[in-house]
Amino acid sequence: MGDGGQPTIPLPHIPPGFLLASKRIFPEASPVASSSYQSGVLHSKLAKDLAEITIRKSPDAVFWVGRDARIFRVNEAACQMHGYTEEEFKQLRVFDLTNAYQSDDWNDMWAMLRRKQSLTKESHHIRKDGTIFPIDATIFFLEGENLDFCACFIRDISERKEAEKALQKAYRQIENLKDRLADENLYLRQEISAQGPGNRGILTNDPGFEEILTLARRVAPTASTVLLNGETGTGKELLARLIHEDSPRRDRSLIKVNCATLPAELIESELFGHEKGSFSGAYAQRKGRFELADGGTLFLDEIGELPLDLQSKLLRVLQEGEFERIGGQETLSTDVRVIAATNRNLEEAITQQKFREDLYYRLNIFPLKLPPLRDRLNDIPLLARHFIEKHRPQTGSSVKTISPSSIKALQKYSWPGNIRELENIIERALILSTGKQLELPPLPHKTSPTANPAPAARTTPSSSLKEVEIEAIQLALTQCGGKIEGPHGAARKLEIAPSTLRDRIRKYGLS
Q: Using H for helix, E for strand and C for coil, what is the string for 326-369? A: ECCCCCEECCCEEEEEECCCHHHHHHCCCCCHHHHHHHCCEEEE
Same fold, 3-157 and 195-369: no
Nearest to 97 by CA among 171, 47, 152: 152
Closest CA to 153 of 57, 70, 84, 69: 57
Q: What three-state secondary structure class fits 388? A: helix
Q: Rounded distance, CA 337 to CA 252, Å?
A: 11
> What are the counts of helices (DSSP H) followed by strands (DSSP E) for the chain?
20, 16
The DSSP annotation for 48-106 comes to HHHHHHHHHH-SSEEEEEETTSBEEEE-HHHHHHH---HHHHTT-BGGGT-SS--HHHH
Given this model, what pLDDT does residue 345 score? 93
Distance separating alpha carbons of residues 394 and 426, to the nearest angstrom = 13
DSSP summary character for residue 413: B
Q: What pLDDT score does 185 carry? A: 62
- C-beta of residue 121 within 8 angstroms of C-beta of residue 114: no
3-state secondary structure of 31: helix
Domains of the chain by residue range: 3-157, 158-184, 195-369, 373-432, 455-508
Nearest to 196 by CA among 338, 369, 386, 394: 386
What are φ and ψ of residue 247, in 5° steps? -100, 165
Amino acid at site 87: E
The CATH number, out of the four listed (1.10.260.30, 1.20.1260.10, 1.10.8.60, 3.40.630.10), of the domain defined by the range 373-432: 1.10.8.60
Write down the CATH superfamily of domain 3-157.
PAS domain (3.30.450.20)
Determine the topology of domain 195-369 in CATH.
Rossmann fold (3.40.50)
pLDDT at 33: 42
> What is the distance between the alpha carbons of residues 120 and 231, in angstroms, rounded to a whole number?
73
Indicate the pairing of strand 148-156 with strand 332-333. Answer: unpaired
Q: What is the rounded distance in angstroms from the CA atom of residue 165 to the CA atom of residue 362?
A: 56
Per-residue pLDDT, 113: 85
Work out the burial of residue 416: count CB atoms within 10 Å of its CB; fewer than 13 is exposed, 13-18 middle, 19 or more buried. middle
Of 332, 337, 313, the residue nearest 275 (C-alpha): 332
pLDDT value for 451 = 44
Q: What is the Cα gyration radius of the chain?
A: 41
- Beta-carbon contacts of residue 442 (< 8 Å; ≥ 6 apart): none
From first to last of the 511 residues of the chain, give the pLDDT tens digit.
Answer: 444 443 333 334 444 444 433 333 334 444 444 444 444 444 566 766 776 776 777 778 888 888 888 888 888 888 888 889 888 888 888 888 887 777 777 888 888 888 888 888 888 898 888 889 998 888 888 876 677 888 888 889 888 888 888 888 888 888 877 765 665 565 455 444 444 444 456 888 888 899 999 999 999 999 999 999 999 999 999 999 999 999 999 988 888 999 888 777 788 888 998 888 887 777 788 888 898 888 999 999 999 999 988 999 999 999 999 999 988 888 999 999 999 999 999 999 999 999 999 999 999 999 999 999 999 999 999 999 999 999 999 999 999 899 999 999 999 999 999 999 999 999 999 998 888 999 888 887 655 554 444 333 333 333 455 676 787 788 778 777 778 887 777 877 777 777 778 878 877 777 6
Burial class (CB in 10 A: 0-12, 13-18, 19+), 405: exposed
| Angle ∠(235,240,245) on CA atoms, nearest 5 | 125
**What contacts 238, CB < 8 A, 6 or more positions away?**
200, 201, 202
Q: Residue 360 and residue 472: Cα distance in Å, rounded?
A: 32
Nearest partner of 72 among 98, 100, 101, 93, judged by Cα = 93
Q: How far is CA 424 from CA 33, 163, 165, 433, in A?
A: 84, 47, 45, 14
What local confidence, expressed as pLDDT, does residue 462 receive?
Answer: 37
